[in-house]
Structure 1
Amino acid sequence: MNQPLQIQVNGRQYRLPQQPTVIVCVDGCQFEYLEAAASAGVAPYLKHVLTEGSVFQGDCVVPTFTNPNNLSIVTGVPPAVHGICGNYFFDPAADGGRGAEVMMNDPAYLRAGTVLAAAADAGASVAVVTAKDKLRKLLGHRMKGICFSSEKSDQVTLAENGIEDVLGLVGMPVPDVYSAALSEFVFAAGVRLLDTRQIDLMYLSTTDYVQHKWAPGTQGANDFYAMMDKYLRRMDELGAVIGLTADHGMNAKHDPKTGQPNVIYLQDLLDDWLGKGVEAGGARVILPITDPYVVHHGALGSFATIYLPRDADRDAVRQRIAALPGIEVVLANAQACARFELPPDRVGDLVVVSGQSVALGTSASRHDLTGLTVPLRSHGGISEQAVPLLFNRKTDGIPGKARLRNFDILDVALNHV
């Protein structure tokens, strides 16, 4: 690898890796999953890392969703800087300036460069493997190197992905998008890339299909972490520094007696309170959890943002929502963006966060819950903010913070291992 030995990205300094460094974002992984699998004896390597490595409890970004946190991890900064504040948002410039609700997957929405791209520009060999294709273009934005998804691993080209014949390399078929195998493919690909190429820096991002279905310590969860364990061990054997974190935790959002989802349908309430719907100039509720993979969560999470009509009494609406059972906090735009480090121009007039066991919806008629084969588990709120930061090596010289953020993981892995 050529000079320089240091890069600066978004105001932070990083040493370029002197040995293969693998950053793993395990979607939906809270400490309890790791501890349960380790104590059950099914994840001996993770047990070793939990006792002999470096272990920290950190905070992820609120809203505790996939896109904002993955992009925070690879840029080293919060959404206020990089701009990606959800999987989905209201873009006032879309539809010819009329505004439209859109997926936040286009790199045009990204306002900051990534550490991955900067490392590649400085001469490092960089690879990215993500489970869902929705993240691929964001994570690989302006990055020279290998970048592909499990979901579309049969469609890779040298021009688009920096690699050919991924299925031949990995030795697995294209996994079902709703399966644990989608994440296993990520780990298997990571091992094969390390084994067959000189990789300096690799980012692996899984999917939370398993965590949406299975609580920590259950058979389904332990099977997943047992699978993950063998691949992490192999990466360690190949000489990699491994840093592992999560984009968010996961909690039950259902009635424990009936298994029915606990949901507050905000759009229905606001249409009733204001006497008009969105089409008639009423309030607009945006759920940033929204993505194409609704079988996971039915588009129900614990964070919402609301655009109110100009004639609405914002404080009265805020207080009325805050008084609802199951609501944790309702904040005006400026307060929410200051507290959660979000870009104000991409957030509505109000931000609503529900409690640990409650989800937020738009209108009951808009959520298809037929895909939920088990009681709802989801994320998005403050209650899913605690995430692990694990390293398979000892660390030193970490600044004396009370608590790390998940987007400090590249700093620790590159500067303090």
Structure 2
Amino acid sequence: MKINNRNYPNQNKTIIGICMDGTSYPYYEAAKDVMPNLQRFIKEGSFGMVKSVIPSFTNPNNMAITTGVPPAINGICGNFYWDTELQKEVMMSDPKYLKVPTILSEKSKNGNKVAVVTAKEKLRRMLSHNLEGICFSAEFANEATLEGNGIENVEADLMGKERPGIYDPYISVYCIEAGAKLLKRDHYDVMYLTTTDFVQHKYAPGDPEANDFLSKIDYWFGELDKLGAIIGITADHGMEAKTNADGTPKVQFIEKLLNEQNIPTRVILPITDPYVVHHGALGGYGTLYLEDKTQLEAAKTYLLGLDGIEKVLTNAEAVVAYELPADRIGDLVVLSDASTTIGRTPDWHDLDKVKEGLRSHGGEHCQEVPMIFNKKLNAEYAKKLASGKSRNFDLFHFLSNGF
């Protein structure tokens, strides 16, 4: 069947798309001794590197993966954006911001049995839009109902235990485990499992805490594999340390700096979401709305002179470079280098939450992520994956056509 102008034929086996939030390849490489199932997938199945969408944040990439198209087409270009009609910042968690249907909803309406489990509730509303099947978040697993989520009594009947808190590393394990337990209980044609990146924000590749977390994830990868599913694993973005030499956050507060230059500006940080403990709303990407459009070049020149600011693109340039929707990204798009974050003003951010060891994402340096399948791709799709030109939002296209 055709969805958003791409073909997704039905498969005889269950296909499972997994988004490991914030998990760049170095995490897997450092944990290879405790991830035997993933290592087996890499060696006996298929593995390559792909690029995520920019901004390399959670909502844009999850919605790209589940629609199979970039933000210019699906409309989701951040966790937050400036609504020019309402004249206020809004969180892009409402399905009304989606411009196209998801692969999941279209499959569910055409005879496929579909189940979706997300760690974060912020994604569930869009992932469940027009979905005729199961969709719940681990965060609010205790509140799942048949009417709202297609399932009830998740903790007691499915999982046999309470869900962890959203800032507990094992809420992501709970998410993958839920997928395995659903598949053990019943057949599904299509599944999508998407985790949270609390661990990756707090711990670097190879840290004992990161490896312990990934070892537990790996167990459930193995359980899904035993059930005969075709599994595809990718990520929404990678993660980088964003600190000064003394460990404090490295930030350029560009709204404050531009206003001091008499260039009145509103900065929107699309990483902003309810999970401030993760990142303090500091990431590698921002969009700017200038009060006076004649100051565009002055603002661009000034920003490019700042330490750690790597790219400044006009609206038109950003639309072409990153396949973004022109009506949702402001006058300028700013990206930082690998070790710097973009802020608004010092008092706008709760820096106490990230005063040591800030790790974050958003720009091009967190764009390269792995794509791993537990089975060997056919020759055509093996060549596509090896080319280095594939995207994380090709995941379901590979799962539907590559075997």
TM-score range, shorter chain: over 0.9
* Equivalent residue, structure 1, for 2:22: 28
Q: Distance in 2 between matches of 1:45 and 1:174?
A: 24
- Is residue 409 from structure 1 mapped to residue 395 from structure 2 by the alignment? yes
TM-score using structure 1 length: 0.94
Shift of 1:301: 0.1
TM-score using structure 2 length: 0.97
State which of 36, 46, 57 in structure 2 corresponds to 1:65: 57
- Residues 272-313 of structure 1: CA deviation (Å, up to 9, x unaligned): 1126xxxxxx31000000000000000000000000013542
2:182 partner SS: helix
- Residues 77-128 of structure 1: CA deviation (Å, up to 9, x unaligned): 000000000000000122xxxx110101000000011111111111010000
CA contact (8 A) 1:17 1:201 kept: no
CA contact (8 A) 1:83 1:109 kept: yes
2:260 partner SS: helix
- Is residue 394 from structure 1 mapped to residue 382 from structure 2 by the alignment? no
State which of 210, 225, 232 in structure 2 corresponds to 1:243: 232
2:354 partner SS: coil
* Equivalent residue, structure 2, for 1:205: 194
1:371 partner SS: helix
* Equivalent residue, structure 1, for 2:8: 14
User: Quick one: percent identity of the two aligned structures?
Assistant: 46
Q: Distance in 2 between matches of 1:122 and 1:374?
A: 49
Shift of 1:179: 1.3
What are the residue-to-residue correspondences of 1:166-315 with 2, within 5 Å?
166-168=154-156, 169-255=158-244, 257-274=245-262, 282-310=264-292, 312-315=294-297
- Residues 299-345 of structure 1: CA deviation (Å, up to 9, x unaligned): 00000000001354201110110111111100000001110000000
CA contact (8 A) 2:248 2:355 kept: no
CA contact (8 A) 1:303 1:352 kept: yes
What are the residue-to-residue correspondences of 1:14-163 with 2, within 5 Å?
14-38=8-32, 41-94=33-86, 99-163=87-151
* Equivalent residue, structure 1, for 2:350: 368
* Equivalent residue, structure 2, for 1:317: 299
Q: Distance in 1 between matches of 2:337 and 2:145?
A: 44
Shift of 1:373: 6.7
Amino acid at match of 1:372: V
CA contact (8 A) 1:117 1:142 kept: yes
What are the residue-to-residue correspondences of 1:321-340 with 2, within 5 Å?
321-340=303-322
Q: Distance in 2 between matches of 1:160 and 1:77?
A: 27
Residues 391, 26 of structure 1: CA spacing in aligned structure 2 closer, same or farther, 3 A cutoff? same
Amino acid at match of 1:412: F
Q: Distance in 1 between matches of 2:26 and 2:144?
A: 36
Q: Distance in 1 between matches of 2:176 and 2:212?
A: 15
Amino acid at match of 1:314: L
1:222 partner SS: helix
Q: Distance in 2 between matches of 1:291 and 1:43?
A: 31
Shift of 1:387: 0.4
Residues 200, 374 of structure 1: CA spacing in aligned structure 2 closer, same or farther, 3 A cutoff? farther
Residues 359, 385 of structure 1: CA spacing in aligned structure 2 closer, same or farther, 3 A cutoff? same
Q: Distance in 2 between matches of 1:294 and 1:325?
A: 25
Shift of 1:406: 0.1
- Residues 363-417 of structure 1: CA deviation (Å, up to 9, x unaligned): 0011102223741000001000000000000001226454210000101111112
Amino acid at match of 1:70: N
Amino acid at match of 2:139: E
Shift of 1:266: 0.7
Shift of 1:166: 0.6
CA contact (8 A) 1:22 1:202 kept: yes
* Equivalent residue, structure 2, for 1:341: 323
1:173 partner SS: coil
Q: Distance in 2 between matches of 1:76 and 1:87?
A: 18
Q: Distance in 1 between matches of 2:355 and 2:112?
A: 44
* Equivalent residue, structure 2, for 1:4: none
Q: Distance in 2 between matches of 1:46 and 1:416?
A: 19
Q: Distance in 1 between matches of 2:168 and 2:248?
A: 23
Over aligned residue pairs, what C-alpha RMSD do you find?
A: 1.1
Q: How many residues align?
A: 398
| Unpaired runs of at least 5, structure 2 | none
1:295 partner SS: helix
Amino acid at match of 2:257: L
Q: Distance in 1 between matches of 2:293 and 2:335?
A: 24
Q: Distance in 1 between matches of 2:388 and 2:18?
A: 23
2:255 partner SS: helix
Q: Distance in 2 between matches of 1:274 and 1:110?
A: 36
Q: Distance in 2 between matches of 1:350 and 1:274?
A: 17
Q: Distance in 1 between matches of 2:361 and 2:131?
A: 30
Moved more, 177-186 or 100-109: 177-186
